[in-house]
Amino acid sequence: MRTHRLAGYLFILPALLFFAAFLVYPLLHTVYLSFTEWAGFDLKKISFVGFDNFKLIPPDSIFWKALRNTLYFVLATTVFLNLLGLGLALFLNNNARFTRLIRTLIFIPVLLSPVIVGVMWSRMFDPFGALNQILEKIGLIKTPIFWLGDRRIALLSIIGATVWQWVGYDMILYLTGLQQIQEELYEAARIDGANRWQLFRRVTLPLLKGVATMVILLNFIGGVRVFDIVYVMTKGGPNHNTEVLATHLYEVAFWFNKMGYASVIAVIILALSLVFAYFRNRLMSEERA
Amino acid sequence: MNRRLLLWVILVLCMVFWVPTSVFGAPKTTLRLWSWNNEGDYPKVFELIIARFETAHPEAAVEIQWVPYTEYNEKLKATIAAGDYPEIPEIHPGSPQYSLYKAGELLALNDALKTGFPKYFPSALADLTFDGNTYSIPLDVNNLTVFYNKNIFKKLGQKIPETIDDLIALSKALKAGGYMGIAHGAKDGWPAGDLYFQMVAYTDGSHTLLRKADFGKISWNRPEFIDAALQILKMNANGVFPPGTASVDYFTGAVQLFTQQKTAMFYPAGSWIVGGFDTQFPPDVEYGLFPFPKISKTQDFCSTGGVATNWGVLKKAKNQDLVLAFYRIAADMTSAQILVDHSMIPPYAIKIQAQREILADMIKAQAIAQTRFVFTPELHSQVMSGVQGLFTGELSAAQFVAALDKVEKTIKR
């Protein structure tokens, strides 16, 4: 019995070591760095400063702008991704001709790197880029729209590109959920006189609750740590109007050389992700119960 | 495998590894050259200088490692933290170099510069010197001017503008002729910063205030700094720049606007972009340069500029003598000829005639170049994003300087 137990531990040891070295240690080290001052060059020049780095948060107006933008990004992408993902899943949950092809086409952007997507949409959103040219040609606009240069719509444009990339992922998850609903339940509801809306409201939605919870929380966590697409498309500009927590962290760490303060921002991102992860676990265990 | 065969295999392997070192001498010392300049003529220039160095020092070899511009400082920082030091690192001038100096990673080169190096222009060394010590060696310098499309100017009967008011009038004439004014990639931040530094070069006749404000010695809330922001607002409101300039990036968006002849001018331009324009313009297009127009007619012309490419020596890097030998070869008159042949400007006086008119004009403009560097990273970042705010109409000139003063208060001096 004891040999079996030992063998079990030995089997998980490589994964455990990997987990400890590349996740637990960096995480704890980041928390440690948040109490220190370090320019990021020489490991011998790390000095403990207590809570001094945390005191930099209140007067840092860019941090608050970045936090507001991050929450806006999280909320907007989650809403759009779920509405569109579910809508597409419902529309494509059949065996009609071309359904598989359409599903594949919608899923393809998921396979692309966010950097590629960012570069592509930057070109599209250029004031003299393809999108404005098309809109001008079909007579919808007379002067170019500054998709990434207008502070009121720059973040929304990035949200659009993000939704374009990830909607296929949410669609697939919802499709999996839809295909697990037994046809008999719909038949029984139809016999009881339910119309299409009632079928969706009373059968589909309640049975998709588990999948929806997971998808929403995955979108939340993905949104909180967004970096690449924002950095490529706007670098947080113009004038920090698309700054998110991760781009601000990057600037503080690698441009301002304040590793300690950057670690405070990283800890805040971690805390936000943990809050969402906690809710996810709680909702999922409720679901199981 | 029997024992005798195994012994034979070991013996043969020993011979294989022993013979080259004894017959061909000791292995070469490899020096790693880190650079982001893998476009235009820089790779060719590096190769020619390396070939000269390797001929003079057969015991050494230089290996170029290209690191993307956007990741350069982060990678250099990571490699230093890991205790692995590229021997010939290109150093990003301005705030990244200042950060390296502050972290104590750069070797002071005052003594080395006394032997075997030319007499550099004081303006070239000024931006590489902190507290009396020089921490980098410049390879070439740049000055930032306005490039213009001669064909469009000729077609519309326009002449080079002298003042900002002339520039505004020119932009209106260009618009009437179906063209836009100055292509400018403010999205990338640094061109936006350079536009502001250019304006400060005109509003501050003493050319000293920027450095003082940079190091927290004076407030940004001064007429010179406010006026510089006002000039940008004025030009933007009067159509000097294409609409949406804050969302146009430099190397694709702005370059394309100019080379596709949608705009008649391009700023900031320097020797680094000449190669790109040569390949992207149709062959019949001629382009030239002029200093950025001044604010009033009574002023002298002024451009900004400084070091383009410079190399440092990391304190803990190995083979520092060989590295300095490489830098000396890169700074001799034969290398100066190589630079000039590739449309680059050496940072010291030369008696070499530039073959192209545009390069001759650039060398002339060097005489009136003022600094384009703000060393404090937080302030440099705020200047760049602040100018974007001027372009989007989000900031007034007063708010622009107030934001800089606010940032200054958060900096630990």
* A17: Cβ contacts below 8 Å, ≥ 6 apart: none
Token pair belonging to A154: 């720059």
Smallest Cβ–Cβ distance between A41 and the set B77, B187, B410 belongs to: B77
Pairing mode of beta strands B369-371, B180-183 = unpaired
From B313's Cα to the closest Cα of chain A, the distance in A is 15
Task: Give the domains, in start order, of chain B with CATH numbers.
Answer: 21-141+308-355 (3.40.190.10), 143-305+370-410 (3.40.190.10)
Q: Do B247 and A257 touch (CB under 8 A)?
A: no
Other beta carbons within 10 angstroms of residue A166's beta carbon come to 23
Q: Do B253 and A126 touch (CB under 8 A)?
A: yes
Q: Do A149 and B406 touch (CB under 8 A)?
A: no
Residues of A in contact with B388 (CB under 8 A): 237-239
ipTM: 0.85
Mutual angle of helices B377-392 and B190-203, in 10-degree steps: 90
Amino acid of residue A47: S
Length of chain A: 289
> How far is B58 from B309, CA to CA, in rounded Å?
26
| Fold adopted by A62-288 | MetI-like fold (1.10.3720)
Smallest Cβ–Cβ distance between B81 and the set A41, A240, A256 belongs to: A41
- Among chain B residues, the shortest Cα distance to A38 is held by B103
Q: Do A254 and B388 touch (CB under 8 A)?
A: no
What are φ and ψ of residue B163, in 5° steps? -120, 170
Smallest Cβ–Cβ distance between B262 and the set A56, A61, A128 belongs to: A128
Task: Outline where chain A has alpha helix (H).
Answer: 2-19, 25-33, 61-91, 99-111, 114-125, 130-137, 154-179, 183-191, 196-199, 205-207, 209-224, 228-233, 245-250, 259-288
Residues of A in contact with B249 (CB under 8 A): 122
User: Closest by alpha carbon to B34, among B4, B74, B79, B64?
Assistant: B64
> How far is A267 from A252, CA to CA, in rounded Å?
14
User: Closest by alpha carbon to A78, among A21, A162, A19?
Assistant: A162
Q: Please answer whether residues B184 and B241 qualify as being in contact, where contact means their C-beta atoms are separated by less than 8 angstroms.
A: yes
Smallest Cβ–Cβ distance between A128 and the set B189, B257, B395 belongs to: B257
Residues of B in contact with A236 (CB under 8 A): 385
Per-residue pLDDT of chain B (413 residues; tens, 9 = 90+): 567 777 777 777 766 665 555 455 667 899 999 999 887 789 999 999 999 999 999 999 999 999 998 889 889 988 998 888 999 999 998 889 999 999 999 999 999 999 999 999 887 888 899 999 999 999 998 889 999 999 999 999 999 999 999 999 999 999 999 999 999 999 999 999 999 999 999 999 999 999 999 999 999 999 999 999 999 999 999 999 999 999 999 988 999 999 999 999 999 998 778 878 888 899 999 999 999 999 999 999 988 988 889 999 999 999 999 999 999 999 999 999 999 888 888 998 887 676 677 777 777 777 777 888 899 999 999 999 999 999 999 999 999 999 999 999 988 87
Pairing mode of beta strands B137-149, B263-269 = antiparallel
pTM of the model: 0.87
Other beta carbons within 10 angstroms of residue A30's beta carbon come to 17
Smallest Cβ–Cβ distance between A42 and the set B103, B386, B392 belongs to: B103
Q: Which residues of A touch B (CB under 8 A)?
A: 39-43, 45, 56, 59-61, 122-123, 125-128, 143-144, 146-151, 154, 234-241, 251, 254-257
Q: In this complex, how many residue pairs, one in chain A and one in chain B, have their CB atoms less than 8 Å apart?
A: 112
> How far is B196 from B403, CA to CA, in rounded Å?
15
Residues of A in contact with B248 (CB under 8 A): 126-127, 149
Q: Do A237 and B246 touch (CB under 8 A)?
A: yes
CA distances to A108, B76, B232, B237 from B398, in Å: 48, 37, 13, 17
Residue B65 is given by DSSP the state E
Delimit the domains of chain A by residue range: 62-288
